[in-house]
């Protein structure tokens, strides 16, 4: 019930549209990797996925944010069944890659944000952290699907509490996999390029 209300609110606020370029919705297990500009990013991806895929997809999110209050804990853990990662190495008791591979081995798809934190800079993307590489190497048979979220940072700018209704798009691109022997640097550069190619600015003159 709570998930349905969040979905309806997200659609009302953003009129979000899902676009599939070079890829189609599939029941196959996937790792969706997206740009990160808002705490609502995974909600929009979740909203535009067909229901059967939505129920099988778990966002990967920072426990420091989603366990901070009772409401956030309910939304992150109980509504979305997020894989909650401790982003602070000194306090970390679980290996994030193991947490994600455990979720994959249990049959879930994942929604991940390889920048590692929200991007509030003028750059279209922050450099990717190494986690996506290690995850791809640990489960090379799982397709990685780039996902570009456009406009959500303008709906809920950082530090603001009142959302601004704007049309948002979520664009899914062609799947990729890590190549045998591919280096971390080459793989992350290829993944970044695949994601940036989905940005509306990439096709602008």
Find the mean pLDDT for residues 140-161: 73
Domains of the chain, by residue range, sit at 2-200
Phi, psi of 113 (to 5 degrees): -125, 95
pLDDT at 203: 55
pLDDT confidence bin for 102, thresholds 50/70/90: very high
Instruction: Indicate whether 70 pLDDT > 80.
Output: yes
Find the mean pLDDT for residues 165-192: 92
pLDDT at 199: 92
Kindly report the average pLDDT of the chain as a whole number.
87
pLDDT at 152: 55
d(CA 3, CA 185): 38
0.85 exceeded by the pTM?
Answer: yes
> Is-contact 34 188, C-beta < 8 A?
no
Q: First-to-last CA distance in the chain?
A: 44
pLDDT at 65: 83
pLDDT at 151: 67
d(CA 152, CA 20): 18
> Is-contact 28 143, C-beta < 8 A?
yes
Find the mean pLDDT for residues 45-70: 91
2-200: CATH topology is Glycerol-3-phosphate (1)-acyltransferase (3.40.1130)
């Amino acid at each position: 019930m709570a998930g349905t209300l969040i979905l309806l609110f997200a659609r009302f606020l953003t009129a979000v549209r899902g676009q599939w370029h070079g890829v189609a919705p599939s029941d196959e297990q996937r790792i969706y990797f997206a740009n990160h500009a808002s705490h609502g990013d995974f909600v929009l991806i979740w909203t535009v996925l067909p229901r059967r895929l939505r129920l099988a997809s778990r966002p990967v999110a920072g426990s420091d944010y989603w366990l901070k209050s009772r409401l956030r804990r309910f939304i992150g853990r109980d509504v979305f069944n997020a894989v909650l990662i401790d982003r602070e190495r000194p306090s970390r008791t679980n290996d994030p890659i193991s947490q994600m591979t455990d979720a994959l081995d249990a049959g879930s798809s994942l929604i991940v944000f390889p920048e590692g934190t929200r991007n509030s800079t003028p750059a279209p993307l922050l450099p990717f952290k190494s986690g996506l590489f290690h995850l791809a190497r640990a489960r090379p048979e799982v397709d990685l699907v780039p996902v570009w979220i456009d406009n959500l940072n303008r709906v809920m700018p950082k530090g603001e509490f009142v959302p601004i209704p704007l049309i948002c798009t979520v664009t899914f691109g062609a799947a990729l996999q890590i190549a045998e022997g591919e280096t971390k640097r080459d793989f992350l550069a290829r993944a970044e390029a695949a994601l940036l190619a989905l940005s509306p600015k990439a096709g602008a003159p």
